[in-house]
Structure 1
Amino acid sequence: MDHISTYLTKEIKLSSYDDKLFKSDLMFDDHMLIWFISGETKIILAEATYYFKTGDIFLIPRNQLATIVNYPKNGQPHKTVVMHLATERLKRFYEKIELKGRVTPEQTIFSFTNHPLLASCLASLIPYFDVRGEFPESIATLKITEAITILREIDKTVDSVLANFDEPGKIDLIDFMQRNFMFNMPMEKLGYLTGRSLSTFNRDFRKFFNTTPQKWLTEKRLELAYYQLAKKKEKTHRSISRSRF
C-alpha cells in the first residue's frame, strides 16, 4: 500500500493513499478537520454511515469510534488535508471566549461541504507542503486559529464539540458494548471510552455479561458476520429468482 503523509507540523498534514482502498477501525485523540482533494471516504459509526468525496469538508470529533474506508477514485489518489484540533490548543483558544450556557458535547460528524471560507483556509495550506525545512509554528498557529474561527462563524453549535474538554465519564457498559462491539479496538480504549480503567472495565464486564470481553466480542462479531452473509445470500437468491421471470 502506497501511503504518503507529508507533515507541516504534527497538527497539519497532507495524506495520500494510492492503493485500491484503506480500511481501519479508528478512534481519534484529537478533533479532525478534513478537506478532500480527491478520492472518497466512507465513515461508519454505531448510529450512522457517512460518505465524503472531492470538495467535501468535515469535522469528526475526538473519542469517536469509527470504521474508516478510504478509496482512490477516477484514477486519482485518496488525498486530503488533515488538521488536528488538539485539546491543549483549543483550551488556549477558548480561554478568551465567554460561552453562554453549558456546553453539551455532540458525537456527530459536522459537514461543511464546499463552504468558501473553510475551503479557502484549507486550500491555502497546499503551497506550504513544498516548503523545505522546519515550518514556522507561528504560521501553523495562525492557520489553525483561522480554521477554528471560521468553524464557529459558520456553525454556531460547533462549540459543543470544540469547547468540551471533559474526559469520558462512567457510562452504561451494556449499552455501549451493544452499540460498539463491531469496532476492533484495544480493551484499554474501550475502558477509557466507558470511563473505566482496564481493570475496572474487565471486572464490570464479567459482572454484567458473565464472560470475558474477548470471548463476548468474538461471539458477537461471528454472529454479525453470519447475519451479513445470510443477508447477502438472500439478496443474491432474490435477484436470481427475479431474473427468471
Structure 2
Amino acid sequence: MLTKANQITSCYLGPQISPEQFIAEHFFLYLAKGTLHGYDGHAHYTLHPGEYCIVRKNHLARYTKIRDNDTFEKVVVIFDTAFLRLFQQRHHTPDAAASNHEAFFRLQPNDRVPAFLQSLMPYYTPGGKIDETFAQVKREELLLILLQSDPTLASILFDFGAPEKIDLEAFMNRNYKFNVSIERFAYLTGRSLSVFKKEFAGIFQQTPSRWLIQRRLQEARFLIHEQGKKPSEIYLDLGFEDLSHFSFAFKKKFGVAPTRLE
C-alpha cells in the first residue's frame, strides 16, 4: 500500500504469481527501501532504492533481500500474458523476438515512473486493496510509460514464444542450484518431459532427481570443507528447502553430518 505522506511503500498490482525460483510471468519491480540482490544463473544483480527493472518470464531467478533499518519496501506490477495480449490488441503492438537473455532487465531513470507510483495512492483502501477495474487501467498506464521511454522493451514483453531447445548439459551444470521442478527444467531447455528425461539419462547416466541431489551435495561438501561455509549459510542457495533435509541427505551420502566438517 502507499502512505498518506506520499512515501512509496510496498504494494502489489496484478494477479498472484508463484514464489518459486521460476519466473512464470513478466513483472515490474521498483525498490523503495532496502537492497535486493538477484541471481539468474548467468550474473548477479543489485537493486538499490529508487531503481527499478523488469524481471522476465521463463527465467530462473533467486533474490536476497537486505533490510534498511528493519524495513524492505517494494512495488511489484505483474505483466501477465493475458494482460499483455489484451494490451497488444488495444494498441496494435506486434509480436516480437527477444533480443537479450538477462532475467533482470534494468530500466533507465524516468521521471514519470515515480509520479506513476505516487498516483496509485488514491485507489488503495487502508487494507492495501485496489478495485480490479482501476488495477487494469493503472497497469496499462505504467506499460505505456515504460514503452515510450524504452521501445526495446517490446522485444521482451511481446515475445510469446516458448523456450527454444538448448544445450541440456550446459544448462543443468549452470542451473542445478535452483529449486524448481523437473518439469520446469525440461520446459526451459525446450523439451517435453519425456524427451528431457531420456536425453538427461544419456548424458549424466542418472535420473534428473538423483543427479540434482548428488550435484548439490558435492558442491555443499566443497563449500563447507574447502571454503569454511556453514550448512545454515548454504543450504537454501543449493536448492534445499530446509536445513534438516539437507543435513539428512548429506550424512546419508558422506557418512558424516555437515556440521562435523566445519
Q: TM-score, normalised by structure 1?
A: 0.77
* Change beyond 3 A, Cα 1:99–1:8: closer
Say whether 1:10 aligns with 2:41: no
Amino acid in structure 2 at the alignment position of 1:91? R
Amino acid in structure 1 at the alignment position of 2:47? F
Amino acid in structure 1 at the alignment position of 2:167? D
CA contact (8 A) 2:13 2:78 kept: no
Aligned mate of 2:98, from 104, 119, 126 = 104
Question: Which 5+ residue runs of structure 1 have no aligned equivalent?
Answer: 13-23, 235-245
What's the C-alpha RMSD, in Å, of the aligned pairs? 2.8
Q: State the SS of the aligned residue for 2:46.
A: strand
* Change beyond 3 A, Cα 1:114–1:193: same
Q: CA deviation at 1:151?
A: 1.3
CA contact (8 A) 2:124 2:130 kept: no
* Change beyond 3 A, Cα 1:150–1:210: same
Q: Distance in 1 between matches of 2:92 and 2:210?
A: 48
* Residue 25 (structure 2) aligns with: 30
Q: C-alpha offsets along residues 177-230 of structure 1, whole Å, 9 cap, x if unaligned?
A: 122111111111111212223232222211221111122212222232334345
Amino acid in structure 2 at the alignment position of 1:159? A
Q: Distance in 2 between matches of 1:63 and 1:165?
A: 10
Q: CA deviation at 1:11?
A: 6.1
* Change beyond 3 A, Cα 1:133–1:183: closer
Q: CA deviation at 1:9?
A: 5.0
* Residue 238 (structure 1) aligns with: none
Q: State the SS of the aligned residue for 2:123.
A: helix
* Residue 86 (structure 2) aligns with: 92
* Change beyond 3 A, Cα 1:60–1:8: closer
Amino acid in structure 2 at the alignment position of 1:89? F
* Change beyond 3 A, Cα 1:35–1:193: same
Q: Distance in 2 between matches of 1:116 and 1:34?
A: 16
* Change beyond 3 A, Cα 1:123–1:223: farther
Say whether 1:187 aligns with 2:182: yes
Say whether 1:217 aligns with 2:212: yes
Amino acid in structure 2 at the alignment position of 1:190? F
Q: CA deviation at 1:43?
A: 0.5
* Residue 75 (structure 2) aligns with: 81
Runs of 4+ in 1 over 4 A off after TM superposition: 5-9, 131-134
* Change beyond 3 A, Cα 1:41–1:182: same
Q: CA deviation at 1:124?
A: 2.2
Identity fraction in percent: 30
Q: Distance in 2 between matches of 1:66 and 1:132?
A: 30
Of 77-86 and 131-140, deviating more is: 131-140
Say whether 1:42 aligns with 2:37: yes
> How many residues align structurally?
217
* Residue 142 (structure 1) aligns with: 137
* Residue 158 (structure 2) aligns with: 163
* Change beyond 3 A, Cα 1:162–1:112: same
Q: TM-score, normalised by structure 2?
A: 0.73
CA contact (8 A) 1:26 1:67 kept: yes
CA contact (8 A) 1:35 1:119 kept: no
Q: Distance in 1 between matches of 2:132 and 2:72?
A: 27
Q: CA deviation at 1:113?
A: 5.8
Higher strand share: 1
* Residue 56 (structure 2) aligns with: 61
